[in-house]
């Protein structure tokens, strides 16, 4: 059997008179055809209205030709599949006896010539979320037919094709059937729900197919869209609302004033923070650079240290110093040591921040009152 199971017309024309023989239609016939089944009609490019057709040099016992119309038909039942070559001669019966010849190949078998075709390429419907299992989507009206059984394409007729080439079965492409939710009746094409719809999906796209039952089947396909809406959801058209221009301007002004107030407060807060940061940096710098100061001008003479009032824990000597280099000490005669009860005492400097100068304080030990009284006596 040939791969495409179709007839191949090989027109070898003899241009003796300008007449050309060619076949009309497909040169193929089913093996199950009964006697008298038309196969094809031979046509001639000849202006004469009357022509005579004959099959010549033929050894077949299955075909004949109507000498007036050129129609080829079967004269016997076919015992097997195969290819038959017919040689046709046609003459116009004129005085010159103009004629033409041609060769036609007719294939005998069970050809499947046509793909199934759906009534439209896209079917669409809308369903509600929570659809019950087993609900039929009847409004899709899916329908397909096959020209191998031409009567099946007449929607008004409930035709059952007797040949497998025109008998169809429906299905759904597995990859397009999300979670196998939908099913289709193989003979009617009716789609129904097999499982509950997914609550998160709002649309399903299916690919339905129709396949004939021939030995070498052909398939056609179409798309199906199923839109899902929530139960009770209704679409409301937007309503135009009148706009008050004056009220809108007032509202915009209020927002503008509020924005200015917030901006001013934020600026003031930023300035305060920056001021505190600057003061903190300067203070840390002064503390880091401070060094031990030296007493330069005592506030008391040596003799005065011996007459500190009783029960006084501290005596003060004040002077000034710098943070960096220590000043040169004065002459010894002008810089008597600090003493308490005729004992030398050390002074320690502390910075009190008086314009860069230092106030010097010396912590003195308590006065021995009894010893002081004896010395006075």
Instruction: Write out the E strands in the chain.
Output: 21-24, 28-30, 38-44, 52-56, 63-65, 71-74, 82-91, 99-109, 117-118, 122-128, 144-145, 168-172, 182-184, 191-193, 203-212, 219-229, 339-340, 343-344, 348-354, 357-361
- Do 122 and 215 share a domain, yes or no? yes
CATH number at residue 87: 2.60.40.60
- Do 223 and 123 share a domain, yes or no? yes
Considering Cα of 41, then 42, then 44, then 50, what sign does the dihedral take?
negative
pLDDT reported for residue 126: 94
- Do 143 and 72 share a domain, yes or no? no
> Could you tell me what percent of the chain has a pLDDT over 70?
60
In a domain? residue 138: yes
In a domain? residue 9: no
**Alpha-carbon gap, residue 345 to 139, rounded angstroms:** 114
In a domain? residue 147: yes
- Do 124 and 210 share a domain, yes or no? yes
pLDDT reported for residue 127: 94
- Do 126 and 205 share a domain, yes or no? yes
| Phi, psi dihedrals of residue 90, rounded to the nearest 5° | -135, 140
- Do 32 and 62 share a domain, yes or no? yes
Domain final position from 109, 129, 146: 109
Domain final position from 173, 199, 229: 229
| Overall number of domains in the chain | 3
Domain carrying residue 56: 21-109
Query: What's the pLDDT tens digit per position in 197-255?
Result: 988 899 999 999 999 988 788 999 999 999 999 876 555 455 555 556 677 778 888 88
Question: Do 41 and 71 contact (CB within 8 A), yes or no?
Answer: yes
| Cα–Cα distance list, 62 to 33, 70, 80 (Å) | 11, 16, 12
- Do 65 and 142 share a domain, yes or no? no
* Confidence tier at 368 by pLDDT (50, 70, 90): low
Query: What's the pLDDT tens digit per position in 120-161?
Result: 999 999 999 889 999 999 999 999 999 888 888 877 665 667
Cα-based torsion angle of the residue sequence 338, 339, 344, 350 in order, rounded to the nearest 10 degrees: -40
Question: Do 146 and 114 contact (CB within 8 A), yes or no?
Answer: yes
- Do 103 and 27 share a domain, yes or no? yes
Domain final position from 195, 229, 263: 229
In a domain? residue 8: no
Query: What's the pLDDT tens digit per position in 281-314?
Result: 887 665 554 443 334 444 444 444 444 454 444 4
Give the burial class of 341: count Cβ atoms within 10 A of its Cβ; 0-12 exposed, 13-18 middle, 19 or more buried. Answer: middle
- Do 181 and 104 share a domain, yes or no? no
pLDDT reported for residue 346: 47
- Do 188 and 96 share a domain, yes or no? no
Query: What's the pLDDT tens digit per position in 20-53?
Result: 555 544 578 888 788 999 988 887 776 565 567 7
Average predicted confidence (pLDDT) for the chain: 72
In a domain? residue 310: yes
């Amino acid at each position: 059997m040939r791969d495409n199971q179709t007839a191949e017309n090989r027109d070898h024309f003899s241009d003796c008179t300008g007449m050309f023989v060619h076949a009309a239609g497909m040169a193929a016939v089913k093996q199950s055809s009964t006697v008298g089944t038309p196969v094809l009609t031979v046509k001639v490019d000849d202006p004469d209205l009357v022509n005579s057709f004959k099959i010549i040099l033929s050894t077949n016992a299955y075909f004949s030709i109507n000498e007036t119309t050129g129609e080829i038909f079967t004269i016997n039942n076919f015992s097997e599949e195969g290819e038959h070559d017919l040689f046709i001669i046609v003459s116009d019966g004129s005085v010159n006896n103009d004629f033409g010849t041609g060769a036609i190949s007719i294939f005998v078998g069970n050809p499947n010539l046509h793909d199934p075709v759906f009534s439209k390429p896209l079917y669409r419907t809308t369903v509600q979320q929570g659809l019950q299992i087993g609900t039929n989507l009847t409004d899709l009206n899916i329908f397909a037919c096959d020209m191998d059984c031409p009567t099946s394409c007449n929607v008004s007729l409930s035709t059952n094709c007797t040949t497998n080439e025109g008998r169809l079965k429906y299905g759904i492409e597995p990859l397009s059937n999300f979670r196998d939710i939908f099913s289709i009746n193989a003979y009617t094409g009716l789609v129904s729900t097999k499982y509950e719809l997914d609550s998160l999906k709002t649309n399903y796209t299916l690919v339905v197919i129709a396949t004939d039952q021939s030995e070498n089947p052909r398939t056609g396909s179409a798309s199906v869209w199923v839109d899902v809406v929530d139960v009770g959801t209704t679409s409301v058209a937007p309503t135009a609302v009148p706009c008050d221009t004056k009220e809108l301007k007032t509202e915009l002004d209020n927002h503008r004033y509020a924005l200015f107030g917030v901006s001013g407060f934020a600026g003031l807060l930023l300035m305060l923070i920056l001021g505190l940061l600057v003061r903190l940096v300067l203070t840390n710098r002064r503390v880091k650079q401070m060094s031990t100061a030296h007493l330069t001008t005592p506030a008391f003479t040596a003799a005065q240290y011996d007459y500190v009032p009783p029960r006084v824990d501290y005596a003060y000597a004040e002077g000034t110093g710098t943070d960096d280099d220590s000043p040169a000490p004065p002459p010894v005669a002008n810089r008597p040591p600090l003493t308490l009860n005729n004992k030398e005492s050390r002074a320690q400097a502390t910075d009190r921040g008086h314009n860069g100068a230092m106030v010097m304080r010396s912590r003195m030990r308590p006065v021995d009152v009894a010893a002081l009284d004896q010395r006075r006596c």
